[in-house]
């Protein structure tokens, strides 16, 4: 057992007082070699602590680390075990998978959950980039004229597979640790809503069948969009996606008749619609409710209540962030941005 700093200090003091190394070793109950090393180390360290060693030799060289990094960058879903095996087969270096992870972390790489986004074709990217350039110089005054609308679906049970449970050893198959499998999330509701800089529409729960063009006019545009449009701006603009219901000729003719300008959001461009953040916010709040909704009627009531409780300043912040969205889209050259959802 080595000398502690206090033992070393005592040994140095005794030797400086003229005591022999044999005597000091006997007093402290250690070997003479330990005392001799402590005395020799004292002038080097200028203290009673041990000299910092060089540590264990690294099991990989800089070339090995570079090989691991390239292996991961060439195939991002490669596991640490697979990278370890390739290092052993190609360079003859045997290390643990934990060492592989450490080397990758040293180069700024760490394993994370795969991000999901919408598949964008070249045509999608071109259209998205064109939209971003057209609106790049828009300020809050221009964005304040827009009424963003969209539909969203809310399930009774979230099918995301990320639910966790506390359990002890051997309790994996205990009945209390099972979650019953429910087809299609136990059912869902479809809602429609719209947001603007100054106000938002009432939330509409779409019940009973598909949304046709005639129904879109009767249940959505007439009672909710037309009354709100003049309040937003004299030249307000309705922005909805390119669903067949929205771009039907009868819908376009109706909007022209009531003198409401309208724009079509490009396909696969949820990051261009700030209402997606509202849906995400509502979904998290409903999911965190205690007690959780027991049926679709509870889900409907919860979604409506949570939408009503969203402060308008939150929506205004989303509108103020639209210029940053355009810049992010330009930086991505029309590709996916961090605001993309599906």
74 and 21 in a common domain: no
Maximum mean pLDDT: which of 1-15, 144-158, 215-229: 215-229
294 and 218 in a common domain: yes
d(CA 310, CA 304): 10
Assess whether pLDDT exceeds 70 at residue 179. no
d(CA 281, CA 303): 10
CA distance readout (Å), 24 to 2, 15, 30:
14, 7, 9
pLDDT at 72: 92
Residue with structure tokens 């221009």?
Answer: 142
Do 216 and 245 meet the contact criterion of CB atoms below 8 Å apart? yes
230 and 96 in a common domain: no
Residue 307 CA to chain centroid, in angstroms?
23
255 and 210 in a common domain: yes
Percentage of the chain beyond pLDDT 90 is: 58
Percentage of the chain beyond pLDDT 70 is: 86
Would you state the structure tokens that stand for residue 292, as one six-digit string? 């959780």
Q: Report the DSSP pairing between strands 204-206 and 237-240.
A: unpaired
Residue with structure tokens 């051997």?
Answer: 170
243 and 282 in a common domain: yes
| 121 vs 22, higher pLDDT | 121
Domain range spanning residue 14? 5-45
Would you state the structure tokens that stand for residue 34, as one six-digit string? 């330990």
Would you state the structure tokens that stand for residue 237, as one six-digit string? 């603009």
264 and 149 in a common domain: yes
d(CA 219, CA 202): 12
CB neighbours of residue 210 within 10 Å = 8
196 and 73 in a common domain: no
Neighbouring-strand partners of residue 206: 190
Would you state the structure tokens that stand for residue 115, as one six-digit string? 């991000």
Report the domain count for the chain: 3
Average pLDDT over residues 197-215: 91
Please list, in sequence order, all residues whose beta carbon lies within 8 angstroms of the beta carbon of residue 288, skipping any fewer than 6 positions away.
Answer: none
325 and 180 in a common domain: yes
Q: Quick one: which of 2, 8, 19 has its CA closest to 42? A: 8
207 and 77 in a common domain: no
For residue range 211-267, what is the model confidence (pLDDT) as tens digits?
899 999 999 999 999 999 999 988 999 999 999 999 999 999 999 999 999 998 888
E strand or H helix at 7, and its extent?
Answer: helix 5-16
d(CA 91, CA 95): 11
Cα-Cα-Cα-Cα torsion 171, 177, 180, 185, nearest 10 degrees, comes to: -130
296 and 250 in a common domain: yes
pLDDT at 23: 83
Ramachandran sector of residue 333 (left: φ over 0; alpha: ψ -120 to 50; beta: rest): left
Do 200 and 194 meet the contact criterion of CB atoms below 8 Å apart? yes
Q: Give the max Cα distance, the chain.
A: 110
Average pLDDT over residues 136-150: 95
CATH of the domain at 210: 3.30.420.10
d(CA 126, CA 283): 31
Residue 188 counted as domain residue: yes
For residue range 42-99, what is the model confidence (pLDDT) as tens digits?
666 555 565 555 567 889 999 999 999 999 999 988 999 999 999 999 999 999 999 9
Map residue 164 onto helix, strand or coil: coil
Residue 190 counted as domain residue: yes
């Amino acid at each position: 057992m080595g000398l502690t700093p206090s033992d070393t200090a005592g040994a140095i003091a005794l030797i400086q007082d003229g005591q022999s190394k044999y005597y000091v070793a006997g007093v402290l109950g250690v070997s003479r070699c330990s005392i001799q090393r402590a005395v020799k180390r004292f002038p080097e360290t200028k203290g009673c602590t041990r000299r910092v060693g060089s540590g264990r030799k690294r099991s990989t060289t800089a070339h090995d680390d570079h090989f691991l990094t390239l292996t991961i960058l060439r195939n991002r879903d490669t596991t640490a075990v697979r990278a370890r095996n390739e290092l052993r087969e190609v360079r003859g270096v045997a290390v643990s998978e934990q060492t592989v992870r450490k080397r990758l972390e040293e180069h700024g790489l760490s394993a994370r959950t795969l991000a999901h986004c919408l598949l964008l074709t070249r045509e999608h990217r071109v259209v998205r980039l064109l939209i971003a350039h057209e609106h790049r110089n828009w300020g809050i005054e221009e964005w304040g004229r827009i009424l963003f609308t969209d539909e969203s679906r809310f399930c009774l049970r979230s099918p995301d597979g990320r639910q966790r449970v506390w359990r002890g050893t051997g309790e994996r198959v205990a009945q209390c640790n099972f979650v019953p499998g429910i087809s299609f999330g136990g059912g869902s509701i479809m809602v429609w809503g719209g947001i603007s800089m100054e106000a938002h529409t009432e939330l509409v729960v779409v019940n009973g069948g598909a949304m046709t063009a005639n129904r879109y006019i009767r249940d959505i545009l007439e009672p909710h969009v037309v009354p709100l449009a003049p309040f937003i701006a004299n030249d307000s603009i309705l922005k909805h996606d390119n669903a067949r219901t929205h771009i039907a000729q009868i819908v376009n003719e109706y909007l022209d008749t009531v003198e409401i300008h309208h724009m079509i959001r490009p396909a696969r461009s949820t990051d261009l619609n700030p209402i997606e953040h509202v849906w995400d916010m509502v979904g998290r709040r409903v999911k965190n409710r205690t007690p959780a909704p027991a049926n679709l009627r509870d889900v409907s009531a919860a979604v409506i209540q949570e939408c009503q409780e969203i402060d308008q300043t939150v929506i205004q912040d989303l509108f103020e962030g639209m210029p940053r969205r355009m810049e992010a889209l330009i930086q991505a050259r029309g590709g996916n941005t961090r605001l993309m959802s599906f």
